[in-house]
Structure 1
Amino acid sequence: MKSSVRVAFSVLAAVGALMGCGAGSSADGGISADVRAVMNQPRYAGATWGLRVVDASTGDVVLDERPDEAFFIGSVRKLFSVGERLDQVGPDHHDDTPVHAQGTVADGVLQGNLVLVASGDLTMGGRTNPDGSIAISDYDHNEANSLGNAVQTRPDPLAGYRSLAAQVARSGITRVAGDVVIDDRLFQPFPYRGEFDLRPIFVNDDVIDLTINPTQPGQPAALDWRPKSAALGVGNGLLTGVAGSVFSFDLAPEFLPCIGVPGCAAQVSGTIPVDFKPQFTGVFPLTRSIRITRPDNYARTVFIEALQAAGVAVDAPAVKENPVQLLPPQGVYPASSRVAQLVGMPYADYARLILKVSYNLGADTSLLLWGKTQGVDNMDATLAVERGHLARHYGVPESEYEFFNGSGGGDTKARTRAVTTFLARMRESTHFDTYFDALPILGTDGSLAFVRDYAPDPTLAGATGQVRAKTGTNVEGTQAGLLVKGQAFGGYIHARSGRELIYTVVVNHARAADIDGVAQVFQDEGLISAMLWRDY
């Protein structure tokens, strides 16, 4: 099916028609009664819908609801940050992480420092399956707390650090008489959503996975976590409650300031009933997470622990502040000093990870790494350069959107035609196949895996597998429940007729009582997507 969607059309048609001007811009009929019925449900009283559908082969605008309104689109923004980097570096590009010995080695002793130079490798070997593919869960651990549960992947999250340590040992170093340093100067730290500063070094996506199981009422619940390190301990105050009791989960402090200080620990408390049903899976274990607020300090500790396990002694303490004052001038690392290197996964794999599970840190990092190719090293400068780039290369003027990072955080907004214009240009990209494959598939995988409810028309189930779209969600808690500021899909439909469509559907300011209500908005947009598959 992948090759069938690559119907070429001219740049003039893509830019002129998709931006709502030219001969192909008139709408081909109005929104159907059944799509309108979905939009008019009571849950959307006071909400605003946008819908734009474009024929991919001609550029004709098929539907265009509220084309001039700027909508909250959330993570649909990731379509841009991933597409831009994919076009810039290609699917086979990989970010490799070297380790350099700064000093002299005599009789196995390094009289100097061992420096791991962070490259922005998103997984550091921690998602690599035995066959070399990337491990992705439909319910990703990065959203364990916001969604209430997750399914952990199988690979060892510290695999890359263990590989680097083994290479250091094979190089002949048996002892580091100096220190171990993480060089994380590739780009300037970026404040991530009030949680921590994003840096180009990662350990397990910068979270600790908590695995929770009930035991007997009145007894401590079973609690385990990964990765384990002296960098962070976890105290277990979770109790198992009787059937029918109220579930509660608390983490103190929520964002630990002490990573890099000996004895740093988080305390988990609360009650988990014996008959509790974890979200999504319906079975135990339950997964929650702890943010690694200082990934540089944490990475230094786990690397030292991996070195020690590989037989390399380190004189410096494993837990302390990353000693960046010991680093040489940035970029001054001769090839002769390299003693290890972790080869990163191809960017095609990271595009899949970012888009399938809506990996926020990955999208922000991807944009910052794209910025490096443009000669800038911080988010503000990257966004400024991107504005000109999107206008020149993709036909999307800056008046069509408001972007604050690479992932869709904050009040990210765009007009629907900005999304469809970019998607149309990506269809002309040399790397479109990779981009297309990275998108979630309706009713099949990623953030669209659970969108399978096609009532009241079961024939709509034929849309399963025929829609590939990035989802975006912006939810805000209120006293009355949850406010869905924005829920959007943006992607491609291989219609039942064989027609190829580019589309985006979005609703702003819908109300939801709880997370299940938010999931229903997902279902409704999936239902609209299926109706478009059927009707066009």
Structure 2
Amino acid sequence: MRQLCAVVTLAAISLPGFAADKKASRKPTLAQQVTVILADPAVSRAHWGVYVSTLDGKPVYGLNDGQYFVPASNNKVFTTATALALLGPQKTFTTCITAEGIYATPAALAGNLVLVGGGDPNLSGRSFPYLSPSQRPKPAPPAADPLQYLAQMADQVAASGLKVINGDIVGDDTLFPWDPYPEDWAIDDTVGDDGSPVSALTINDNRIDVTITPATDPGKPATASFLPAVPYYSLELHIITGAPGSATRISSERDLGSRTVRLSGTIASDAKPYIESLAIHDPAEFAALALKQLLEARGIEVTGKAVARHRLPVSPAPK
């Protein structure tokens, strides 16, 4: 795919290296302005593709515009616009819980309880509508529970009178094929939250945050906690508290497919808690584990495990 840039209005641009002149004929051309921008040492070593057109599609300027580039995050603009155009602004997504099996009694299910993902990207504590930082209330209110909607569903299950599930809690994301990562990603792309897998069952943006808090005394180990507080990852923590005012340097590692995260580095004794955001390796499995934990907290016994149900790309979509 080609990388595109927005339409440029020349009169609105003023760049170092070009003296202001009242005569329109002496204004720098768009090509000259792009040349100045790309000559900056901060960006000159990158490979750039630029295509500028008028709103009716008439070409204005091109640089390497016939070449292909990795789309990167600007591709989100086009996919989001396409989804909005095809689905419409009133589109809703449904996430449901279903039972597989039979009820031995009204309070006991002999079979699995299945959380079925419907592609909802917003099962989180996110507030709507979005507010820019300058518009947000000060002081900021406490952050919402990232599992709040899953908790509401667990409340509904408990209200049904169910007390025992003799089976597994299944996270079902078969609406989308299980193809979580682009084929050209490196292994370390899958660790941080900007590399979260694609899934039809997305809880908290398929992200889990580790909050690292320094000890009071330098030389002591730091502590860490998860949000959401779901025991999905195990943590190997090798972070030492540094002297007041020292730099905070923290790195994270996780082997592909592993459920163990290694955090190492230093954090100053007077530093604020540091948040390391991690991608959830298997979002459907995580959702099942979170639901199992919420159900058990409401007095519902679950004899089985939390498991994921995926659909391979070559398999047909569910009916």
TM-score (norm. length: structure 2):
0.70
Q: Kindly tell me: are residues 206 and 136 of structure 1, through their superposed partners in 2, closer, same or farther at Cα, counting changes over 3 Å?
A: farther
CA shift for structure 1 position 33: 5.5
Deviations 1:444-493 (CA, angstroms, capped at 9, x unpaired):
xxxxxxxxxxxxxxxxxxxxxxxxxxxxxxxxxxxxxxxxxxxxxxxxxx
* Corresponding residue to 1:301 among 289, 303, 306: 289
Q: Residue 270 of structure 1: SS of its match in structure 2?
A: strand
Structure number having the greater helix percentage: 1
Deviations 1:288-310 (CA, angstroms, capped at 9, x unpaired):
12222122222111101111222
Q: Which residue is 1:207 aligned to? A: 207
Deviations 1:26-75 (CA, angstroms, capped at 9, x unpaired):
xxx9317656433333444455555444443xx26473132743263422
Q: Which residue is 2:264 aligned to? A: 269
* Corresponding residue to 2:60 among 56, 59, 63: 63
Q: Which residue is 1:219 aligned to? A: 220
Q: Which residue is 2:302 aligned to? A: 314
Q: Which residue is 1:422 aligned to? A: none
Q: Kindly tell me: are residues 47 and 108 of structure 1, through their superposed partners in 2, closer, same or farther at Cα, counting changes over 3 Å?
A: closer
Q: Residue 80 of structure 1: SS of its match in structure 2?
A: helix
CA shift for structure 1 position 234: 2.9
CA shift for structure 1 position 162: 0.6
Q: Kindly tell me: are residues 74 and 252 of structure 1, through their superposed partners in 2, closer, same or farther at Cα, counting changes over 3 Å?
A: closer
After superposition, residues 298-377 of structure 1 pair within 5 angstroms as 298-317=286-305, 321-322=307-308, 324=309
Whole-angstrom CA distance in 1 between matches of 2:53 and 2:34: 17
Whole-angstrom CA distance in 1 between matches of 2:262 and 2:131: 29
Is the 1:135–1:154 contact (alpha carbons within 8 Å) kept by the matching residues of 2? no
Q: Which residue is 1:119 aligned to? A: 118
CA shift for structure 1 position 101: 1.9
Is the 2:252–2:261 contact (alpha carbons within 8 Å) kept by the matching residues of 1? yes
Q: Aligned Cα RMSD in Å?
A: 3.5
CA shift for structure 1 position 182: 1.9
Q: Kindly tell me: are residues 61 and 165 of structure 1, through their superposed partners in 2, closer, same or farther at Cα, counting changes over 3 Å?
A: same
Q: Kindly tell me: are residues 170 and 66 of structure 1, through their superposed partners in 2, closer, same or farther at Cα, counting changes over 3 Å?
A: same
Whole-angstrom CA distance in 2 between matches of 1:191 and 1:222: 31
Is the 2:125–2:147 contact (alpha carbons within 8 Å) kept by the matching residues of 1? no
Q: Which residue is 1:186 aligned to? A: 175
Unaligned 5+ runs, structure 2: 1-27, 134-141, 191-195
Q: Which residue is 2:161 aligned to? A: 172
TM-score (norm. length: structure 1):
0.44
Letter in 2 for 1:117: V
After superposition, residues 475-490 of structure 1 pair within 5 angstroms as none
Q: Kindly tell me: are residues 271 and 176 of structure 1, through their superposed partners in 2, closer, same or farther at Cα, counting changes over 3 Å?
A: same
CA shift for structure 1 position 273: 2.8
Is the 2:169–2:307 contact (alpha carbons within 8 Å) kept by the matching residues of 1? no
Q: Residue 236 of structure 1: SS of its match in structure 2?
A: strand
CA shift for structure 1 position 157: 1.2
Letter in 1 for 2:88: G
Identity, % of aligned positions:
28
Q: Kindly tell me: are residues 246 and 109 of structure 1, through their superposed partners in 2, closer, same or farther at Cα, counting changes over 3 Å?
A: same
Deviations 1:132-163 (CA, angstroms, capped at 9, x unpaired):
x156787xxxxxxxxxxxxxx92211112111
CA shift for structure 1 position 93: 0.6
CA shift for structure 1 position 268: 2.4
Whole-angstrom CA distance in 2 between matches of 1:239 and 1:100: 46
Deviations 1:380-405 (CA, angstroms, capped at 9, x unpaired):
xxxxxxxxxxxxxxxxxxxxxxxxxx
Whole-angstrom CA distance in 2 between matches of 1:45 and 1:232: 41
Q: Residue 65 of structure 1: SS of its match in structure 2?
A: strand
Whole-angstrom CA distance in 2 between matches of 1:135 and 1:220: 38
Letter in 2 for 1:225: F
Q: Residue 305 of structure 1: SS of its match in structure 2?
A: helix
CA shift for structure 1 position 235: 4.2
**Which structure has more RCO (C-alpha within 8 Å, separation ≥ 6)?**
1
Q: Residue 287 of structure 1: SS of its match in structure 2?
A: strand
Whole-angstrom CA distance in 1 between matches of 2:61 and 2:218: 57
Aligned residues: 267
Whole-angstrom CA distance in 2 between matches of 1:60 and 1:269: 51
Letter in 2 for 1:242: A
Whole-angstrom CA distance in 2 between matches of 1:115 and 1:179: 8
Whole-angstrom CA distance in 2 between matches of 1:45 and 1:75: 20
CA shift for structure 1 position 173: 1.6
Whole-angstrom CA distance in 2 between matches of 1:185 and 1:155: 28
Is the 2:221–2:241 contact (alpha carbons within 8 Å) kept by the matching residues of 1? yes
Q: Kindly tell me: are residues 239 and 134 of structure 1, through their superposed partners in 2, closer, same or farther at Cα, counting changes over 3 Å?
A: farther
Whole-angstrom CA distance in 2 between matches of 1:38 and 1:155: 42
Q: Which residue is 1:78 aligned to? A: 76
Letter in 2 for 1:200: A
CA shift for structure 1 position 230: 3.0
Is the 1:135–1:155 contact (alpha carbons within 8 Å) kept by the matching residues of 2? no
CA shift for structure 1 position 232: 2.8
Whole-angstrom CA distance in 2 between matches of 1:111 and 1:251: 41
Is the 1:231–1:301 contact (alpha carbons within 8 Å) kept by the matching residues of 2? yes
Q: Kindly tell me: are residues 246 and 304 of structure 1, through their superposed partners in 2, closer, same or farther at Cα, counting changes over 3 Å?
A: same
Whole-angstrom CA distance in 2 between matches of 1:38 and 1:275: 40
Is the 1:113–1:181 contact (alpha carbons within 8 Å) kept by the matching residues of 2? yes
Q: Which residue is 1:88 aligned to? A: 86
* Corresponding residue to 2:151 among 144, 156, 162: 162
Whole-angstrom CA distance in 1 between matches of 2:169 and 2:154: 12
Say yes or no: does 1:239 pair with 2:240: yes
Is the 1:115–1:181 contact (alpha carbons within 8 Å) kept by the matching residues of 2? yes
Letter in 1 for 2:301: A
Q: Kindly tell me: are residues 31 and 172 of structure 1, through their superposed partners in 2, closer, same or farther at Cα, counting changes over 3 Å?
A: same
Say yes or no: does 1:229 pair with 2:230: yes
Q: Which residue is 1:497 aligned to? A: none
Q: Kindly tell me: are residues 47 and 256 of structure 1, through their superposed partners in 2, closer, same or farther at Cα, counting changes over 3 Å?
A: closer
Whole-angstrom CA distance in 2 between matches of 1:296 and 1:309: 20
